[in-house]
A and B are shown apart, each in its own frame.
Chain A
Amino acid sequence: MILFLLAVGLAALSGVPGLFGRDREGRTAAMLMTASAVLGTWAGVRVLLGAPAPALRLPTLALGSQGLLVLDPIAAWFLLPVLLLSACGAWYGVAYWHSPQGSPRWVRLVFGLLTAALAVLVCAAHMWVFLLAWEGMAIAAFLLVITEDRLPETRRAAWIYLVSTHTGTLFLFGAFGLLAGLTGHWDLAAWPRGFAATSQGTLLFLLFLAGFGMKAGAMPLHIWLPPAHAAAPSHVSSLMSGVLIKMGILGLVRLVAWVPDPPLWWGGLVVGLGTLSGILGVAFALGQHDLKRLLAYHSIENIGIILLGLGLGLVGKSTGHPALQALGFAGALLHVVNHSLFKGLLFLAAGSVGHATGTRDLEQLGGLGRNMPWTSAAFLGGSWAICGLPPLNGFISEWFIYLGSFRALGLPRWPWSVGILAALALIGALALACFAKAFGTVFLGTPRSAAAAEAHESPRAMLIPMAVLAGACGVIGVFPALIVPGLDRVVATLGPGLPGLAGLTRLPLLTGLALALVLVGLLLVRWLRGGRSTETVPADLPTWDCGYSQSVPRAQYSASSFADGLVSGARWVLFPKVHAAKVQGLFPRSARFSSHVPDPVLDRTLDPLFRLSVRGLSYLHAIQTGQLPVYLLYVLLTLLFLLIWMVV
């Protein structure tokens, strides 16, 4: 526990030396974060390898419960990505921060505090600790999102985030209060058998699902996620998308661990939410032109995949199917870690693009692969992994969920798992389309603007964190057996007596095939290099393109045109807005065309709804005279009313 507390302390204080002027670039802060990561990882890995879970306990019962923090396997599993991503983000921040807006010292201080809050949150064993850390995380993240507060869109994004995170917290207050009232203590502990099926159990589940779902960004509750991720500095987006939204998943995972007998509809509801988030998340990502907004919608999609796994595990728990539980939970948990690795990587690479060109607009970019080979390779690695393509890590976690849902086909009264299969297949194909679009328009082809043509590679401090994350993606992808012992321990806490993954899956064969794939690829590259010919080919040739030798960058397929087939094919859910001038006559005037896909909940539902309610409530201005006596009269009337109500 000492190790862990030391790690939290180092992370929390990492920004403090910077306040006193010594640490202008943030190297000290980054070193402290690295030290914190090393210590915390050491503590976490020990638990995952089977050491007893260290705990911090109070000697008294004055606070309603003795345990404050406990580093159990679930906590350790969520702690590792928190520490890795924050250390990578801190180093990245050293070189990244040259924006005229915002104070780098301030960002570093709050970044450290956010990391500390996240680390405490994953270990919380007391409801107060949990809620305090939850609030600390929410507020620190708000302060980081609003860093560039001179931009109106940033302010809007930050306020939307603050409002939605507090709405979520409200649900959690309700849930925890109810739970404490029913159990009589503030421990985060197992529910008694049979409780989940009662009406209070149902209410608690729905409250928790709303509160945690809001943080995770599951589909109808996701409104804060795309704007906040786009507005925050990139290493902050990376931490938010990588681990902050996973705290919602952490909450749900804890819930699963507490409940011995979840009703079948819980799993069904979670699977339904997962399907919705997964498919709509990737569908809306296809319609985006802003690189970071696109990545943010993909976070919603991946939360959907995680929820599919979690729901599958819950169904297994309800029906008493151990293999289903093991595969569903393992897939969800592994996807939590995997997503934090590749999404962290992608946000860092996107930040590197923004750093080099000053824009996030896909239609202004292109051809960056020539000047930014390392960033380009990092983004390709991240895209490869997030599409779930072998041999990287995204494939392994999706494979577990696939295996689980194939097994669930055998359940007699639950045919819905075919829906999971179809959803995963559709999500996979659409994610592939979306990342082909993103990588293709940003890094391939020819530059679409002067800024893109003059892009330069980012400094080494930004590239090394990306390389670390990409390496982790590769290691988990090729050698999944390495993480199975730890994963098994986490899964075992979610349901007693679950079979080990090594018995359920043939991971060594997967490793062998992955290595075969790499080997064949290398052999083929060698064969391509080896062409011996006497012909000479001129070096500097344009793209042949069937003879259009004077190709112009504007004629390239843009991000919008690439996605147009799918977006207009799905216009009955996406409702893209198209602004096009009518082209008329023999010599039409020059015309402009633009299209974008607004968010279904925020822009299409809540925004008009709030506008309408503001207009309705404005009639109440009549009673707001601004005179003190009148207000005192209102107070008096209210008191009188209450008095009468109580007496009668």
Chain B
Amino acid sequence: MSHTLASTLMNLLLHTLAVLVLPPLIPGLIAKVKAWLAGRSGPPVLQLYYDLAKLARKQAVFSRTTSWVFLAGPVGTVAALLVASLLVPFGHTPAPVSFEGDVILFAYLLGLARFLTVLSALDTGSAFEGMGAAREVSFSALAEPALFFGFAALAKATGSLSLAPMLQAHGMGKVGHLSGPLILILAGWAIVYLAENARMPVDDPNTHLELTMIHEVMVLDHSGRPFALVLYGASLKLVVLGALLVDPLLPRLAQGWLNWLAFLAALGLLAVVVGVVESSTARFRMTKVPQFLLAGVLASAFAFLLLLV
């Protein structure tokens, strides 16, 4: 008993630590990969940590049109994502909180983060930020069904409604091995991952042309500590949603620390893949993005259909 309690506590501690410390590394890795592929040396991998430290010392600037809703965006995003991260298992270590139906809570916490970000963008009264907000809500209306079809397929296959058993079904049943349904689910979710994290074929995190952006344009007016929260929240989302993508692929290992190591390695690999995708594709025209997302919906819907037969 005491052994399991100790290991649970240990896991909880590691999970929290990973959620708090790890995320800013991922955007750094992606940027480094992109720089290498472009033949540049690029910013250091730890750049985002330096940025966050700098922003935490800076005073925030507020427009006269903004109200408290402007702060609700960054605060709500980080709070919702932190709570959501408690529901996600990292590799084959158990999730800190797991219960029937936590998938829905997870999805709706992401929704809450989006809602508050959109409102804080609209609070500035700027046309650019309104444009980004409108795009965000339009595209997410397609990303949401893709996510849910994937959950439905996994629920059908594993008979569970909780994230941890759904994602850790390795070696069991129809989605245990790299089978057709699992590939389709992961393909659908990969599209969701790129869209939700404002990554390349959908959105360009590096552009400075406001008209072409979605997520970055919504946070144009944030500065100082609120902006630090925005950046941290974005990197947290990369990790939390990334766990969804890599968990079903990881083999179950005997030792706890090996599981952790495998998860971290897989997350790093995911960052490399994202970097390669970003370097090798151009951003879609805005009108093409819905078609891309629809492909994600169809992929995960077909995964569900395959499980019915």
Contacts and interface: CB of A to CB of B under 8 A. Distances in A.
B63 A541 contact: yes
A422 B149 contact: yes
A398 B210 CA distance: 37
Contact of B109 (A390, A403, A555): A390
B277 interface: no
Contacts of B161: 403, 406-407
Given A524-B75, A565-B138, A444 B122 contact: yes
Interface string A518-546: 00110011011001010111001111111
Given A387-B115, A516-B83, A557 B122 contact: yes
A565 B130 CA distance: 12
B304 interface: yes
Nearest to B301: A422
B76 interface: yes
Interface string A60-77: 000000000000000000
B115 A440 contact: no
Interface residues of B, number: 78
B119 interface: yes
A531 B65 contact: no
B127 interface: yes
A545 B126 contact: yes
A370 interface: yes
Given A422-B145, A557-B127, A541 B115 contact: no
Contacts of B82: 520
A495 B257 CA distance: 50
A377 to B, nearest CB: 9
Interface stretch (A146-154, A300-308, A427-435, A465-473): A427-435
Contacts of A440: 118-119, 122-123, 130, 133
Q: Taking chain A's interface residues, is the majority helix, strand, or loop, or is none over half, making it mixed?
A: helix
B97 A513 contact: yes
B12 interface: no
Contacts of B141: 426, 429-430, 433, 566
B104 interface: yes
B221 A445 contact: no
Interface string B241-284: 00000000000000000000000000000000000000000000
Interface string B74-87: 11101110110010
Contacts of B137: 429, 432-433, 436-437, 562, 566
A390 B108 contact: yes
A527 B55 CA distance: 13
Interface in B69-102: 69, 71, 74-76, 78-80, 82-83, 86, 97, 99-101
Interface string A350-368: 0000000000000000110
Contact of A553 (B83, B99, B125, B220): B125
Nearest to A543: B63
Contacts of B159: 410
Given A446-B125, A513-B97, 9 more contacts: A370-B67, A422-B145, A422-B149, A422-B152, A433-B138, A436-B122, A440-B118, A531-B58, A546-B220
